[in-house]
Amino acid sequence: MVVSSQAQRLKPFAIDVKSPMNPIHWFLGGKEDVRSSYYLEDVATEFHVQGLELDWACVMWDGDLRYSESGWETFSFVGSKWQNIHKEERKRYLINAYRVLLTRARQGMVIVVPEGNIEDPTRKSEYYDSTYDYIESIGVKTF
């Protein structure tokens, strides 16, 4: 499972990008090693997988990069809310992080765009729905 290093609101799914993971165990550990990628307990970010290939990848999307009618919108989670990223360099960095994540898989990939949660103002449906719709519109098979 791979995620953007800025994916701060995946914690309700037990995905914490701030939790340290050991790349040696994550990449090389076998199916019996709970520290390995097989267990789907620890996630790798664009920093861990850049320049590497994975057989399979599960890309977990967050509200930091959202598709809209005007193109991709970039956000940073600060304190308890999402804030627009204004600096062009930081926008390009975030978009590139997702490019890295989406280009690692050799055999196949699953993209997970979570549903929003009406009870959580940091995970509103509108943060995710347009991205899901866009991914579906370009021909990615959805379930």
Q: What is the pLDDT of residue 52?
A: 94
Letter for the amino acid at 98? Y
Q: What is the pLDDT of residue 91?
A: 98
Q: How far apart are CA 135 and CA 119, in angstroms?
A: 25
Q: What is the pLDDT of residue 132?
A: 97
Q: What is the pLDDT of residue 143?
A: 84
Q: How far apart are CA 106 and CA 128, in angstroms?
A: 26
pTM exceeding 0.85: yes
Q: What is the pLDDT of residue 49?
A: 96
The domains of the chain are located at: 2-137
Sorted by sequence, the CB contacts under 8 Å of residue 102 that are 6+ apart come out as 59, 109, 111
CB count within 10 Å of CB 48 equals 18
Q: What is the pLDDT of residue 34?
A: 96
Q: What is the pLDDT of residue 57?
A: 97
Q: Residue ranges of the chain with pLDDT lower than 70?
A: none
